[in-house]
Amino acid sequence: GAVVSQHPSRVICKSGTSVKIECRSLDFQATTMFWYRQFPKKSLMLMATSNEGSKATYEQGVEKDKFLINHASLTLSTLTVTSAHPEDSSFYICSARTLWIEAFFGQGTRLTVV
């Protein structure tokens, strides 16, 4: 299957600082990338959908000014959590897809805000 690399896998940051998470499709061009948040023992919660070269579409209830998404190329999308607070601590996962076929997931990023 296709490979999606997500970095970092774990990050601890101080409250009020910003954190950037990268998602790269290594062996295919991803026209669409998805960002999810997952709470312990819960399913995936879609945060936003981004298409290369256009603004991300955020799901209802997701603050676009707090969770900045950039999809500047066909192989890279970034999620920046701005002014992070402890309630933003979570497991964040990206997935990448070409057209409407199956999406492949990154390894996930465990964010802890202290």
Binding site for another protein (CB under 8 A): 1, 4, 6, 32, 34, 41-44, 46, 49, 57, 91, 93, 95, 100-108, 110
Under a CB-based contact definition with an 8 Å cutoff, are residues 21 and 6 in contact? yes
To another protein, the closest distance from the beta carbon of 39 in angstroms equals 12
104: its two tokens: 């492949």
3 or 72: CB nearest another protein: 3
14 or 42: CB nearest another protein: 42
Closest CA to 51 of 67, 29, 66: 29
17: its two tokens: 């600082």
Q: CA–CA separation, 113 vs 18, rounded Å?
A: 10
To another protein, the closest distance from the beta carbon of 16 in angstroms equals 26
